[in-house]
Amino acid sequence: MDGVQLLVSGLANGCVYGLIALGFVLIYKATEAVNFAQGDFMMLGAFVTLGLTNAEYLHLPFWLAAPLSIAIMAGLGYLLDLVILRHLFGQNQTAVVILTIALGFVIRFFAGAIWGHEPQTLESPLALGDVQLAGVVLGLADLAIIIVTVLLTWSLYQFFQRTKLGLAMQAASQNQMAAYFMGIPVKRVQGLIWGLSGATAAVAGILFASKGAIDPNAGLLGIKAFAAAVIGGFGSLPGALAGGVIVGVIEPFAARYLAAGYSQIAPYVLLLAVLLFRPHGLFSQVRTKKV
């Protein structure tokens, strides 16, 4: 039973990593850039919800506050693209990497200035109660996280595969010039994808905050989500989820069965191993271009 318990809690943690990784992958898929501030987006989403829901702030009902904060984060993502990232159009990747790291600093600073640096908990209906299932104790929040993550990944996958907009996003990332000529409004498409990743970050934030306390440094979780995204393959949405689950499950097991110093490095060793042997990740299907 012990192993199953570890597996379930690892699964729930992994789904949060997977959700953040989903944000990375969305932006990478559509703009070929990596948003190093995605973890901080997640933290901001959690704090926005917390600010709307908690008794000492606005005290809105949770089921109103959650969609509202998702919408706010989506708007923020679009705005960021409009104001800042669009100007980097055509610049090299290093510029985007450094810009988004700096953005993370700024978000962390503002979150700390508005909500303080103390850890706070979200007053969410998900945080209540456990479920007993065949001797395994499941937190309600854990269950919610797993279900929401799987649903979200599936629908985003379908979105990219089936809808016109999703295909337009993929086209815009592969060859901007050609996409322009085919009548795709590349800039607006990129803005939309930043909005979408903001919304995903908000979902991740809400779920993360209903599991435990949140503080402005929670965004550093993003580094583990990176590992997840790379392990899964940076261009693949189901891969991001799978990578997140792998990292999430490895952590508690390593903490349990390895010596103290070695357990923390397990996810990163796995990351380096994957980068060495399958540089494009476990689930990507990159074929080399012939010409």
Partner 1 sequence: MRIQFKTSYDHDIRLFPDRHSLLVYGALVMLALALPLLINEFYIGEVTNVLIWAIAGLGLMLLTGQTGQASLGHAAFLAIGCYANTILIEQGLPFIVAFPLAGVITGIVGGIIAIPALRLHGIYLAIATIALSILADDIIVLLEPWTGGVSGKFPDVIRLFGIEIERWTMPVRFYYLVLGVTVICTLFYRNLLRSPLGRAFAAVRDSEVSATAMGVHIARTKATAFGLSCMITGWAGALMGYYAGAFNNETFSLVISITLLMMIVIGGLGSIHGAFFGAVVVAFLPQGLSILKDSVLGSGVAIPGLETGVFGMILILFILFEPMGLYGRWLKIRIWFELFPFARKDMFRRQKSYLKTERLR
> What are the residues binding partner 1 (CB under 8 A)?
28, 32, 34, 84, 87-95, 97-99, 101-106, 108-110, 112-113, 117, 173-178, 180, 216, 223, 226-227, 230, 234-236, 261-262, 264-265, 268-269, 271-272, 275-276, 279, 284-289
Helical segments of 54-139, H only: 62-83, 93-115
For residue 120, the minimal CB distance to partner 1 (Å) is 15
Q: Which two tokens stand for residue 282?
A: 């476990």
Instruction: State the minimum distance, in angstroms, from the CB of residue 99 to partner 1.
Output: 5
Q: For partner 1, which is the closer residue by CB, 102 or 133?
A: 102
Q: How far is the CB of 68 from partner 1 (least distance, A)?
A: 26
Is residue 243 within 8 A of residue 282, CB to CB? The reply is yes
Residue among 246, 239, 237, 238 nearest 270 (CA) = 246
Q: How far apart are the C-alpha atoms of 100 and 6, rounded to whole Å?
A: 34
Q: How far is CA 39 from CA 16, 17, 104, 110, in A?
A: 11, 9, 8, 15
Smallest gap, in angstroms, from Cβ of residue 47 to partner 1? 14
Residue 2 Cβ, how far from partner 1 at the closest point, in Å? 26
Tell me how far apart the alpha carbons of residues 228 and 243 are, in angstroms, rounded to a whole number.
4
In terms of CB distance, is 208 or 226 closer to partner 1? 226
